[in-house]
């Protein structure tokens, strides 16, 4: 059962426009969310995160929005650049029975920014 | 400082064989997690080690195992390989396992099972 879902496997956007990547989750106990970007033949790299006590976090061209009631988060990239073309994974922090944490990742969305 | 190093980068095995993958975390990082990436499944959590102890485990069969050494280096082993084990295996390290701890990933070991 996929607890973190990225329903759009791919997205194409024109350079300079906004890219919106979406992520839905099922567990209301998730309290921290992260976005990772992955280029081919490289490992994922951390992009931006948000705590469940916030509804928005911004870092340069990247903004993450969290809607807890809808169990939905989104990543906005403005303006989109060709170098942003990559696979984006959202992840949620899951507290285990031992009190530690593990990250549950979505299936990823492949973003292609067209020049 | 050096990033997370995974070896080997690519390997080909046949069904029934076993494989060992290695991960050297960033210096000072004590938590090492392993993930399996397959098309359509995203990154599936395998297990996490912290100070040589397995702290968390995902929903994988017992054929998948791991360990961590005193220098924080980690290995994962897959026995009796199946075709479905073909995947990119990613290792990630962090300073601790707090939920706000950013994960630093290696480039992965791509396993092909024939």
Of B43, B50, B108, Cβ closest to residue A89: B43
CA–CA distance, B33 with B49 (Å, rounded to integer): 6
Confidence of residue A97 (pLDDT cuts 50, 70, 90): confident
In this model, does residue B19 exceed pLDDT 90? yes
Residue numbers in A near B103 (CB within 8 A): 34, 36, 44, 46, 103
Which chain A residue shows the shortest CA-CA distance from B107?
A: A43
**How many CB pairs (< 8 A) connect A and B?**
71
Best residue of A102, A104, A106, A108 to probe chain B, by most B CBs closer than 10 Å: A102
Rounded to a whole number of angstroms, the distance from the CA of B22 to the nearest CA of chain A is 15
Question: What value does the mean pLDDT take over residues A80-91?
Answer: 96
Rounded to a whole number of angstroms, the distance from the CA of A114 to the nearest CA of chain B is 23
Name which of A62-76, A86-100, B4-18, B20-34 the model is least confident about: A86-100
Of A42, A43, A101, Cβ closest to residue B99: A101
Residue numbers in B near A106 (CB within 8 A): 42
Structure-model confidence comparison of residues B40 and A7, the more confident one: A7
Percent of chain A with pLDDT over 90: 80
| pLDDT tens string B38-51 | 987 889 999 999 98
How much is the pLDDT for B1? 58
| pLDDT tens string B95-107 | 876 566 688 999 9
Name which of A57-71, B57-71, B84-98 the model is least confident about: B84-98
Indicate the burial class of A16 (C-beta count within 10 angstroms; 0-12, 13-18, 19 or more): exposed
| pLDDT tens string B62-91 | 999 999 999 999 999 999 999 999 999 999
Asked whether B97 and B8 are in contact (CB, 8 A), the reply is: no
In this model, does residue A41 exceed pLDDT 70? yes
Structure-model confidence comparison of residues B88 and A98, the more confident one: B88
Residue numbers in B near A91 (CB within 8 A): 43
Residue numbers in A near B102 (CB within 8 A): 34, 46, 49
């Amino acid at each position: 059962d996929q607890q973190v879902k990225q329903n759009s496997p791919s997205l194409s956007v024109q350079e300079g426009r906004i890219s919106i990547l979406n992520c839905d989750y099922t567990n209301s106990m998730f309290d921290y969310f992260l976005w990772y970007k992955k280029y081919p033949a490289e490992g994922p790299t951390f992009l931006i995160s948000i705590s469940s006590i916030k509804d928005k976090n911004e870092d340069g061209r990247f903004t993450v929005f969290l809607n807890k009631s809808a169990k939905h988060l989104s990543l906005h990239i403005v303006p989109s650049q060709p170098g942003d073309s990559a696979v984006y994974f959202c992840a949620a922090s899951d507290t285990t029975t031992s009190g530690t944490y593990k990250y549950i990742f979505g299936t990823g969305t492949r973003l292609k920014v067209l020049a | 400082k050096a990033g997370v190093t995974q070896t080997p980068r690519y390997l080909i095995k046949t069904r029934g064989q076993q494989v060992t993958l290695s991960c050297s975390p960033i210096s000072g990082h004590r938590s090492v997690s392993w993930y399996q990436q397959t098309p359509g499944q995203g990154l599936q959590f395998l297990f996490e080690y912290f100070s040589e102890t397995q702290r968390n485990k995902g929903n994988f069969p017992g054929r998948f195992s791991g360990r961590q050494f005193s220098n924080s280096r980690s290995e994962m082993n897959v026995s009796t390989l199946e075709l479905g084990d073909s995947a990119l295996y990613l290792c990630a390290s962090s300073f601790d396992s707090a939920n706000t701890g950013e994960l630093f990933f290696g480039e992965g070991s791509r396993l092909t099972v024939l």
